[in-house]
Structure formats: C-alpha cells, structure tokens
Amino acid sequence: MGRVLVLYYSWSNGNTERVAKELADACGADVERIETAVLYPEDYDTTVDQGKREVEAGFEPELQPLKHDPADYDVIAVGTPTWWYTMAPAVRTLLNSRKWNGKVVVPFSTCAGWAGSTLDDIAGLAEGARIAEPLTVTFGSDGGDRMVTDPRKVTDWAGRVAALA
Ligand SMILES: Cc1cc2nc3c(=O)[nH]c(=O)nc-3n(C[C@H](O)[C@H](O)[C@H](O)COP(=O)(O)O)c2cc1C
C-alpha cells in the first residue's frame, strides 16, 4: 500500500481545504496546508488584484516550511484555488521547489466557475510524475462557499484516489 500525502493551498473560504480534507479522510492520508511566508491582505479585492499581478509575472512567493516531505510519499495530491485561470502562486512555488519523478500526482482545484488551465498547469510543473485523477470542484460564482459541483462527484473521486495507493 503506497503512502498518500494531500498538500493544498486555500485562501478565501476554505473551499480547497474542504475538498482536501474529504480526500485525506477517504485515503487515510497525511494532509498539510501550504502557507506563504508573507500572508496576503485580508481584503478580498486587494488580494484579487495582487494575485493578478503575481500570476501574470509568474511570481513564486516564499513558503513556510513543510512538515511533510513529498519525497516520503508515493501519491501526492496537490490542491489549489484557481487564481486568474491558473494555480495560486504558492502552489507554483511548491511544484517548482521539489522533484516529482516517480511520483503519482493528483491535481485538484476549486473555482468559481472559470477553471481556466489550472489542472493542466499543475500537471505541466509536476515534471516526471504520472498524473492521475485530476478534478475541479466548482463553488459559487460569487466567490463564496456554496459547492455547485455535485458532492457525490467529490466523494466518488476521493474513493478512486484512495484506490491508487
Ligand atoms: C486572487 C483570486 C483570483 C481568483 N481567480 C479566479 C478565476 O480565475 N476563476 C475562478 O473561477 N475563480 C477565481 N477565484 C475564486 C476562487 O477560485 C474560488 O472562490 C475558490 O473556491 C476559493 O478557494 P479557497 O476558499 O480554498 O481559497 C479567484 C479568487 C481569488 C482570491
């Protein structure tokens, strides 16, 4: 039985955290939230603007140290909210600062209806990994915490990921 680690970033409402925790529960996985060394402003619109500039620049913010080392796991699920049609900058830092060869990477994202290329972009940065079971979960278009995707779809997916290990 392979070991599963769920790594995720979440900023607005904990939408990505909710999906990450359900996945971790289904897999009996270790789970860790990644966090930037410098936190984003609490004001939503200010962070939306800052996020846009950072995504456009390909900025990689410094992260707080991880407690779990992805190198110790076989399957690593990487979750992010969609920020400007791609992953949040913190997840870009994570993917570019580790080696993924020989791992199975499960990309997952949450969004407000415009997922863009988030999952493909994660797959593109997880160089050398086998990509499995990518999933986007859509929440309310107001940026809130109402899940629009059928929750059964998330539960089924979590079961399939558990079966990978
Ligand atoms: C900086 C920023 C940019 C966003 N860009 C998008 C986007 O391009 N497409 C989209 O559907 N939602 C976008 N959203 C909404 C979030 O992806 C969505 O609300 C997500 O579920 C929030 O997850 P969280 O609560 O884990 O942070 C953006 C939110 C923020 C804060």
Q: Dump pLDDT digits (tens) for 29-84.
A: 999 999 999 999 999 999 999 999 999 999 999 999 999 999 999 999 999 999 99
User: Which residue ranges have their beta carbon within 6 Å of ligand 1?
Assistant: 10-17, 47-48, 51, 81-85, 110-116, 139, 143
Ligand 1 centre distance from Cα of residue 94 (Å) = 18
Note the pLDDT tens digit of each residue in 124-150. 999 999 999 999 999 999 999 999 999
Q: Report pLDDT for 1.
A: 47
Instruction: End-to-end CA distance of the chain: give it in Å, rounded.
Output: 6
With b for 16 or more beta-carbon neighbours within 10 A and e for fewer, the 20-29 pattern comes to: bebbbebbeb
Q: Report pLDDT for 145.
A: 97
Q: Which atom of ligand 1 is least distant from the CA of 50?
A: 1
Q: Report pLDDT for 165.
A: 85
Mean pLDDT of 105-111: 98
Q: Which atom of ligand 1 is least distant from the CA of 86?
A: 8
Q: Report pLDDT for 77.
A: 98
Mean pLDDT of 101-110: 98
**Nearest in space to 111 (alpha carbons), one of 146, 78, 68:** 146
Measure the CA–CA gap between 43 and 28, rounded to whole angstroms: 35
Q: Which atom of ligand 1 is least distant from the CA of 110?
A: 21
Spatial neighbors of 77 by CB under 8 A, at least 6 apart, are 4, 5, 6, 7, 8, 20, 23, 27, 29, 105, 106, 107, 108, 161
Q: How many CB atoms lie within 10 A of CB 13?
A: 16
**Nearest in space to 124 (alpha carbons), one of 74, 77, 87:** 87
Note the pLDDT tens digit of each residue in 23-35. 999 999 999 999 9
Q: How far is CA 94 from the centre of its chain?
A: 10
Mean pLDDT of 96-110: 97
Average pLDDT, rounded, for the chain:
97
Q: Name the closest-CA residue to atom 31, ligand 1.
A: 48
Q: Looking at the domain that runs over 4-164, which CATH code has it been given?
A: 3.40.50.360
Ligand 1 centre distance from Cα of residue 2 (Å) = 32
Ligand 1 centre distance from Cα of residue 10 (Å) = 9
Whether 33 contacts 14, CB under 8 Å: no
